[in-house]
Amino acid sequence: MQGLIMDTPLLISSLIEFAARYHADTELVTRTVEGPIHRYSYADANRRAKRLANALAGLGVKPGDRIGTLAWNTYRHFETYYGVSGIGAVLHTINPRLFEDQLAYIVDHAGDSYLFVDLNLFPLVERLIEKTPAVKGVVVMTDANSMPTSERIPNAICYETLIAGQSERYDWPTFDEKTASSLCYTSGTTGHPKGVLYSHRSTILHAYASALPDALNLSAGDSIMPVVPMFHANAWSLPYVATLTGAKLVMPGPKLDGASVYELLESEGVTFTAAVPTVWLMLLAHLRESGLKLATLKRVVIGGSACPRSMMEAFEEEYGVQVRHAWGMTEMSPLGTLNTPKAKHLGESREAYFDRGEKQGRPIYGVDIQIVGDDGAELPWDGKAFGDLRVRGPWIASGYFHLDQSPAHGSDGWFSTGDVCTIDPDGYVRITDRSKDVIKSGGEWISSIDIENIAVGHPGVAEAAVIGVAHPKWDERPLLLVVPKGDAKPTREQILKFLDGKIAKWWLPDDVVFVKELPHTATGKLLKSKLRDDFKDFKLPSA
């Protein structure tokens, strides 16, 4: 027997319609690429997204066509999120920080028919265009006055001119909720990037779950600033959760330095923000240098890489801002686990609060997890056993775009994340490594992430990375690479002494090397494959 409930498909266009109808005058504020602050309402955004929908039809864009964007967090990018997906086409957000060859590969592999590009990224597209012959046109997301002239792309289209002549009357079409809505490639540290193809259904379900109190905890009373880019896993779904809840949205544009982020947080009464740890290092440095405080910010979600305890303590103790540690991946839309207390944790000591808070958190409803050993057998949730983390659920990728084989997708319906972790009896996950970064010493695993997180708590350390280096007796031993903070000159002995007592004795790195900088991926993660390569002949003193 079937239920007697309306069969309304879950479509992305319904989010902007909802916001425009019930939160019509709620603001969306942008620091534009051109410079000035731009502000308008969800009603305005919906009208312009509809103009864009009409314009796309005029360009001959059909349902299923891929439209690439190379753009920062701005109101125009927001309009493409709704205009492109709303007509049934696929919004392909591209990370402009990737290498040019990777960018060309991605645009070509996705089969993008048009590229929408921000003014300051147009030179990048001018260099790319020869390598992407299938692209039919380039739309520069600016107004006629700021429109660049270009020999390589003489027929580039101006976004404002494109939508100006269009009607704001448009009925968003209704179609199957499993239709593809957007596409995002994971940067990947090896091999070609792989495309994750989201559906309308997965996007809406994920946005619903994300808004929940134990997830991002958002409401119409919030002012949200996604510092995490809209090209990085849909800005962790914030452009969708904002319309779903009717929260105010503050877009930081291309300026992500501490001073610029701070200025918007304060001037727009931001209550909630989210980004990777690197961004927050810049903000905290700015706050400390200038002696400033955060007046309105209540909560910050930190993920993408492990959030060091020292960062959590700084936000909470010095600035009164609650930190929520989160783990996820592009393949997971991206939220998987978030760290909030259970009822039994209420009243825990500060020490216990940070011990728990350091972990990546518990799964939100919709995400099922397990850890397995080398033999594929499930491991216990005792907070000690390390294993490969596997996930499944209605917003987790079932495969990759135009890729027949995915070794990460098992025939049993689980997706192997490539992360290694422990899970405690309460279901809190602690990510200890990427599986390819695991250090195996005498047959036992050492967590590089744990050591790095403690090392950056030393006042003289700006950044730290731990890699395994070959050792004749132990197979591998940890080597700690340190970027000193400012003018600080910490010594090897000081750093080792600082770690001593905070980790198991046999986890203590065999050596410390000071470096000027560490290599990162396009999404700001440590590129350990490069470090392992650079240090493959390194002789440990103990070897």
From residue 411 to residue 450, the character string flagging contacts with ligand ADP as x (rule: CB under 6 A) and all else as - is ------xxx-----------x--x----------------
- 166 touching ligand ADP, by CB under 6 A: no
Q: How near is the Cβ of 326 to ligand ADP at its closest, in Å?
A: 6
Question: Binding to ligand ADP by residue 303, rule CB under 6 A?
Answer: yes
Gap between the Cα atoms of 8 and 18, Å rounded: 14
CB of 376 to ligand ADP, least distance (A): 19
Burial class (CB in 10 A: 0-12, 13-18, 19+), 421: buried
Give the binding range for ligand ADP (CB under 6 A) out of 106-114, 297-305, 370-378, 460-468.
Answer: 297-305
**Token reading at 68:** 């690439």
Q: Which residue(s) pair with 194 in the sheet?
A: 186
Residues 479-518 as x/- pattern, contact with ligand ADP by CB under 6 A: ----------------------------------------
Helices of type H across 59-74 = none
How many chain residues bind ligand ADP (CB under 6 A)? 22
With respect to ligand ADP, which residue has the nearer C-beta, 23 or 434? Answer: 434
Least distance to ligand ADP, CB of residue 261, Å: 20
With a CB cutoff of 8 Å and minimum separation 6, the contacts of 142 are 33, 34, 118, 119, 158, 159, 160
CB 368, min distance to ligand ADP, A = 16
Q: Does 139 bind ligand ADP (CB under 6 A)?
A: no
**Given candidates 97, 131, 255, 525, which one binds ligand ADP under the rule CB under 6 A?**
525
Burial category of 53 from C-beta neighbours within 10 Å (exposed 0-12, middle 13-18, buried 19 and up): buried
CB of 329 to ligand ADP, least distance (A): 3
The total of other beta-carbon atoms located within 10 Å of residue 107's CB is: 24
Task: Give the residue with the Cβ less far from ligand ADP, 61 or 420.
Answer: 420
CB of 495 to ligand ADP, least distance (A): 22
3-state secondary structure of 256: coil
Residue closer to ligand ADP by CB (options 77, 359) is: 359
Least distance (Å) between residue 422 CB and ligand ADP: 13
| Alpha-carbon gap, residue 468 to 360, rounded angstroms | 23
Structure-block tokens of residue 435 = 């599986």
Compute the distance between CA of residue 465 and CA of residue 324 in angstroms, rounded to an integer. 23
Residues 70 and 25: their CA atoms lie apart, in Å, by 28
- DSSP secondary-structure letter at 149? P
Contact between 360 and ligand ADP by CB under 6 A: the answer reads yes
Beta bridge partners of 388: 372, 420
In eight-state DSSP terms, residue 415 is E
Under the binding rule (CB under 6 A), the answer on residue 247 touching ligand ADP is no
Residue among 68, 86, 304, 363 that touches ligand ADP (CB under 6 A): 304
What x/- string results for residues 316 through 335 when contact with ligand ADP is judged by CB under 6 A?
A: ---------xxx-xx---x-
DSSP structure string for 165-222: TS-S--------TTSEEEEEEE--SSSS-EEEEEEHHHHHHHHHHHHSTTTT---TT-
The verdict on 305 binding ligand ADP (CB under 6 A) reads yes
Neighbouring CB atoms inside 10 A of 43's CB total 16
Reduce the DSSP state of residue 288 to 3 states and report it.
helix
Q: Which residues are catalytic?
A: 186, 331, 440, 445
Tokens describing residue 315: 């936000």
The verdict on 523 binding ligand ADP (CB under 6 A) reads yes
Residues that bind ligand ADP (CB under 6 A): 186-187, 233, 303-306, 325-327, 329-330, 334, 360, 417-419, 431, 434, 521, 523, 525
